[in-house]
Structure 1
Amino acid sequence: MNAVVAADDDTELIRHGRYLTQIAGCNDCHTPGYAMSGGQVPDSNWLTGDSLGWRGPWGTTYPSNLRLTMQSLTEDQWLSLARNTQYRPPMPWFALRDMSDQDLRAIYHFIRQQGPAGQPAPAYVPPDQEPQGPYVQFPAPPQ
């Protein structure tokens, strides 16, 4: 394969990954202010995690900084993580599990090409502890 064809393939893969992060809702949680601004956040701030917690019976979770996470993973590690990890709510881990390898690879390459940015998200807070910053409170499930 020549360099021009490889570059075109990479460009298409990254474009598809960008598209998927938008339509799959990745930015809604993993990009600060994205949902509240109707998606009007510069790409340079995308997927840097958030300090807004999501609290429910599972405790309080925070959207991770995917820009930092992807820098430490190989493509194969990402595929394994996406297929096999069951995250706490509200992360829709089952959506990752059900994506095609091609889609997961595209997301990986898009996030990697964005480069590292931002800080790690706050650590998980168990259900019996009060989170320090702002959070969204999920109602208890129906009995």
Structure 2
Amino acid sequence: MKNLLLALGFLSLTSCIQESKSYTPEEQPVNLSLEESIRRGEYLVTIMDCHACHSPKIMTPQGPVPDPNRLLSGFDASQPLEELSKEEKITSKKWVLFHPQMTSAIGPWGTTFAANISSDDTGIGTWSYEQFKKALTEGRYKGLVNTRPLLPPMPWQTYQDLEDKDVRAIYDYLKTTTPIENIVPAPQLAMQPQ
């Protein structure tokens, strides 16, 4: 009986190991067609919740949802940011405050605005893949080497280990989005970036 239990345990463990092997990244298809890459990019943009910060919102009975007419266009530059009260300025040194559209944040670093990542030239329309990858995985403004770092709440540190095929898929998808002209304001820094 003891040998039977050991044998069953061993078979169960072997089965688990073999199952986990079937999901290793090395065995996944690497070369996607452009159509497959765009579909995967749309999926990744959705599950990574890029719309939470990069799409202005409209209010619905279920709460705020991305405005379908301004998807991924970033902070709406036509809507000026309201001046903070003295109490809010003090609070923003200890807390992070989000604009009701969730496309701007104020915190100890200053005020930041979500970028336009639509396919318009005021977004990422003219960016190369290398620029996009540098921005997303290295946190460089416009993906350029000698530019300022991307500021909070952009979680680029979370994305630094993305596989190239996923970065490419996100880029391919964003290049197919509706171009929305919107020049996002520069951040208002409370301290100098390092």
**TM-score above 0.5, yes or no:** yes
Q: Please, which runs of 5 or more residues in structure 2 have no aligned partner?
A: 1-31, 77-98, 140-148
Name the residue aligned to 2:111.
Answer: 60
Greater RCO (CA < 8 Å, at least 6 residues apart): 1
Asked whether 1:23 is paired with 2:47, we answer yes
Unaligned runs of 5+ in 1: 1-7, 129-143
Residue matched to 1:81: 135
Is residue 2:179 matched to residue 1:119? no
CA gap of 1:34–1:104, structure 2 versus 1, over 3 A, is: farther
Shift of 1:115: 4.3
CA distance in 2, matches of 1:14, 1:45: 19
CA contact (8 A) 2:38 2:173 kept: yes
Task: Provide Cα deviations, 1:24-60, integer angstroms capped at 9, x if missing partner.
Answer: 0111000001795345x42x52210014420011000
Which has the larger Rg? 2
> Among the aligned pairs, what percent are the same residue?
31
Structure 1 CA distance for aligned equivalents of residues 116 and 49 of structure 2: 15
d(CA) in 2 for partners of 1:34, 1:92: 24
Question: Deviations for 1:77-125, whole angstroms, at most 9, x for unmatched residues?
Answer: 2122222224211110112212111111111011111142131212211
Instruction: Considering fraction of residues, name the structure with more helix.
Output: 1
How far apart in 1 are the matches of 2:46 and 2:58?
10
Q: Where in structure 1 do 4 or more consecutive aligned residues deviate above 3 Å?
A: none
The 2-side partners of 1:61 and 1:89 are apart by 7
RMSD of aligned Cα (Å):
2.3
